[in-house]
Amino acid sequence: MLSAESKKKIDREVAKYPADWKQSAVMAALRIAQDEKGWLAPETIEFVADYLGMEAIAVYEVATFYNMYNLEPVGKYKLTLCTNLPCALSGANDVAAYLKEKLGIGFNETTPDGKITLKEGECFGSCGYAPVFLINNRKMCGSLTFAEVDRILAELE
Amino acid sequence: MEQILLKGLDGGNWRLADYLKRDGYAALKKMFADKMTPEQVIDELKKSALRGRGGAGFPTGLKWSFMPKNYEGDKYLVCNSDEGEPGTFKDRDILYHNPHQLIEGMIIAAYAMGIKAGYNYIHGEIFEVYERFEEALEEARAAGFLGDNILGTDFSFQLHSHMGYGAYICGEETALLESIEGKKGQPRFKPPFPASFGLYGKPTTINNTETFASVPWIILNGGEKYLELGRPNNGGTKIFSVSGHVERPGNYEVPLGTPFAKLLEMAGGMRGGHKLKACIPGGSSMPVLTGDVMMDLDMDYDSIAKAGSYLGSGAVIIMDETVCMVKALQRLSYFYYEESCGQCTPCREGTGWLYRVVDRIENGMGRNEDLDLLLNMTDNIQGRTICALGDAAAMPVRSFVRNFRDEFQYHIDHKHCLVSS
């Protein structure tokens, strides 16, 4: 169900924890599974549960508790914009409005071509670089201006 | 001004070779060469008056001395790098620009408490930081600073990183432990405290990133010298994360006790010559203070507490006169509502209720009784929950309403904002 490469990555995470605590790797395993599949379908969650010897419901609890997991399909690029107070003081709400207008979508929506999903996030712990957004949970872009947003969007293929 | 955490960092010199050039791992080598006992290490920490940099300000040496000494079996060391308190971004910069100083601090801590394994729990949103930290761990292992028989001694310590994935509550230490155990991050009832029942049910010590990263300097230079850098009971330097309406937002490492006015000046002053209206001095969970009060304060635990707020994580959120305090509070209240783990009724229900009332005031539907209602609710949340998230939600509401009551009342009376921005 997951690729050999993903399974290898999960094994590397499992090795970090005591032998009888394989489930400590569940957060990492879900992250790795999501990186491969784009989102966590029920069968992906079940696969992770089997792989780590956990109950599927326990894995599902984790997947629904932490908000960076995608429980439904997202676009090729998920843009999560922080709008918390320090970012808001530095113009995050203007950037949000600009993104919504430019992409023609609101938060929690995906462009019709399936390319970009826009999300609102909570503090990324990067307020000195505000406003910030995160692309696919990985790449952080900071000090966003409208011109910078244009540049970044143009680079997304 | 002496710096010990950010000194000499240029953004690119994070690797082991660079760290060694800055006296890196010299404290660890000194500790072994001088045959320091674990008790001596803890004594230096106590002398230094280093207080936990994550927010609570608990004395680090004292915390370390709580670990059972003759315990047969596993004990754990955990670093809390789950930095998600709005306004705080210091640990991210330590991890990204100076990861080996944290690793060295953790090794020394592990030695002092007889611990063989540890984890560094890193905030989920900073994946690039996590990847770099993993690389730094590999470097430390390859050089013999981490792993079995460190530097040829009989002391061994294994350190790994664990990545969070978007839950503010995991910054609470017992929620963080639950999270490492592969569960929902819901805080545990205390006691028992982690020193007796922590990770996997074993004795565990948890400290913040900045706390651990301060340890090598203390061991190398002595606890008393560290104390002298700051003020009595407030030893050392502290990184303040300055965000909001200043010319140069960023991290500034200064001695504890530095006047706020000086810190503001270092951050370039108010943006565009605006006026300081309000400041949250310790991260979004701490009470907001008015600009006038703030300008007279020194940045140390005791001074800020005397003024009615807390130094917290050292996140200084600066707001100028264009900020509507109702709108600012509305955003913060939404955050606590969103991040409540849902375990305790006063927090789960109360955070939503707080948000909805602030939201209706902001949207011109406030009622005359709402301000007293908000204050009443905060009293029914704070101190009535398993962890401090309830307090963290209550303190901003109470302080915003008390310090800026006229502005809230104006919103209720006129159904729009006093501030035109």
pLDDT per residue as tens digits for the range B300-318: 999 999 999 999 999 999 9
Tell me the CA distances in angstroms from B33 to B29, B134, B221, one per residue in order. Answer: 6, 28, 15
Residue in A123, A136, A137 to test binding to B, most B beta-carbons within 10 Å: A123
* Whether residues A84 and A144 fall in one domain: yes
Angle at A16 between CA A12 and CA A17, to 5 degrees: 130
Q: List pLDDT tens digits, range A82-131.
A: 999 999 999 999 999 999 999 999 999 999 999 999 999 999 999 999 99
CB burial of A136-147 (b: ≥16 within 10 Å; e: otherwise) equals bbeebbbebeee
Cα torsion B410, B414, B418, B421 to 10°: value is 150
CATH code, domain carrying A82: 3.40.30.10
Q: Of A65, A91, A118, which residue is a domain's last?
A: A65
* Whether residues A56 and A20 fall in one domain: yes
* Whether residues A48 and A82 fall in one domain: no
State the average pLDDT for chain B: 96
Residue B77 to residue B61: CA distance in whole angstroms: 14
Strand partners, B317: B243, B280
Residue A8 domain-assigned (yes or no): yes
- pLDDT for the residue numbered B235: 83
Residue in B168, B279, B331 to test binding to A, most A beta-carbons within 10 Å: B331
Q: Of A14, A32, A65, which residue is a domain's last?
A: A65
- pLDDT for the residue numbered B281: 96
Q: Sign of the CA dihedral B372, B374, B379, B380?
A: positive
Q: List pLDDT tens digits, range B251-294.
A: 999 999 999 999 999 999 999 999 999 999 999 999 999 999 99
Say which residues have a Cβ less than 8 Å from residue B237's Cβ, sequence separation at least 6: B2, B3, B4, B5, B214, B229, B230, B253, B254, B255, B256
* Whether residues A81 and A147 fall in one domain: yes
Cα torsion B328, B334, B336, B339 to 10°: value is -140
Question: Is ipTM > 0.95 here?
Answer: yes
Whether omega for the bond prior to residue A86 falls within 30 degrees of 0, making it cis, is: no
Backbone torsion region of residue B39, taken as left when φ is above 0, otherwise alpha when ψ lies between -120 and 50, otherwise beta: alpha
The answer on pLDDT for B61 being more than 90 is yes
State the average pLDDT for chain A: 97
Say if the Cβ atoms of B89 and A127 lie within 8 Å. yes
Domain extent at residue A55: 4-65
* Whether residues A118 and A150 fall in one domain: yes
Residue B391 to residue B395: CA distance in whole angstroms: 6
- pLDDT for the residue numbered B420: 65
Q: List pLDDT tens digits, range B190-231.
A: 999 999 999 999 999 999 999 999 999 999 999 999 999 988
Judged by a CB distance cut-off of 8 A, whether residue A28 touches chain B is yes
- pLDDT for the residue numbered B1: 73
* Whether residues A81 and A21 fall in one domain: no
DSSP element (H, E) containing A63: helix A56-65
- Quickly state the pLDDT bin for B2 (edges 50, 70, 90): confident
Residue A72 domain-assigned (yes or no): no
Mean pLDDT score, B79-97: 97
- pLDDT for the residue numbered B186: 98
Chain A residue closest in CA terms to B249:
A128
Residue A144 to residue B167: CA distance in whole angstroms: 24
What does the block give as tokens for B165? 């994935």
- pLDDT for the residue numbered B419: 84
Residue A71 domain-assigned (yes or no): no
Judged by a CB distance cut-off of 8 A, whether residue A90 touches chain B is yes
- pLDDT for the residue numbered B230: 86
* Whether residues A32 and A103 fall in one domain: no
DSSP for B90-132 reads HHHHHHHH-HHHHHHHHHHHHHHHT--EEEEEE-TT-HHHHHH
Say if the Cβ atoms of A83 and B331 lie within 8 Å. yes
How far is B235 from chain A, CA to nearest CA, in Å?
Answer: 25
Helix axes B370-381, B389-403, angle to 10 degrees: 150
Say if the Cβ atoms of B84 and A58 lie within 8 Å. no
- pLDDT for the residue numbered B137: 98
The overall longest dimension of chain A from CA atoms, in Å, is 51
* Whether residues A51 and A112 fall in one domain: no
Residue of B249, B317, B245, B312 whose CA lies nearest to B280 = B317
- pLDDT for the residue numbered B35: 97
Count other C-beta atoms under 10 Å from residue B40's C-beta.
14
pTM for the complete prediction?
A: 0.96
* Whether residues A101 and A45 fall in one domain: no
Say if the Cβ atoms of B89 and A62 lie within 8 Å. no
- Number of domains observed in the structure of chain A: 2
Residue A144 domain-assigned (yes or no): yes
Pairs across A and B, CB distance < 8 A: 157
Q: Sign of the CA dihedral B294, B296, B298, B303?
A: negative
- pLDDT for the residue numbered B165: 97
Helix axes B325-339, B345-362, angle to 10 degrees: 150
Provide φ and ψ at B80, rounded to 5°: -95, 95
Say if the Cβ atoms of A24 and B180 lie within 8 Å. yes
* Whether residues A81 and A146 fall in one domain: yes
Residue of B283, B207, B282 whose CA lies nearest to B50 = B207
CATH code, domain carrying A47: 1.10.10.1590
* Whether residues A43 and A13 fall in one domain: yes
* Whether residues A103 and A150 fall in one domain: yes
Residue of B48, B7, B13 whose CA lies nearest to B232 = B48
Residue B79, CB-side half-sphere exposure with 13 Å CA sphere? 35
Judged by a CB distance cut-off of 8 A, whether residue B248 touches chain A is no
Q: Of A19, A35, A65, which residue is a domain's last?
A: A65
Rounded percentage of chain B residues whose pLDDT exceeds 70: 100
The answer on pLDDT for B346 being more than 90 is yes
Helix-, strand-, coil-residue percentages of chain A, each rounded to 5: 50, 15, 40
